[in-house]
Amino acid sequence: MAADSTPAARSSSGRRALTVACVVAVAAVGSVTRPFEWAATVLVLVAGAAALARAIRAESPVRLKDPALRRGTAIWSALLLAAAGWEAYAFVRQPDWLKPSDQHPTLSTLLDPALEHGPLRFAGWLAWLAVGYWLVTR
């Protein structure tokens, strides 16, 4: 018998196929939503909540015993916090939170011209979800 025919392997591959199907479905739905509308916001919140739940449930095999790994983690965490702070500042400073602002552009506002067409929007959503999944599972 092949190793893939065991119940655990089938369950794992079935879960992986379900995850891929969900990611593609969310990307497809996201690609037809209008930017800065409530549907897109709800979709982002649901995907973020699912990623957060997955990250909290998973055990991390990485132990930060190596000083170089701790330093790298601290540096990348600081860069991520700085980027999130800039994004939050730009969003809060917008005159209308439902319309993009040229004076205080967020990352979404800057990427919107490149991702405004269907296939590129789908690819953008797919890339965003794939990177998020990769970050949560690694």
Residue with tokens 């970050």: 135
- Domain spans, the chain: 3-137
Amino acid at 10: R
pLDDT digit string (tens) for the chain, length 138 residues: 455 556 655 667 888 888 889 889 999 999 998 877 888 889 989 998 988 888 888 776 666 677 887 888 889 899 999 999 988 888 888 888 777 778 888 887 888 888 888 889 999 999 989 888 888 877
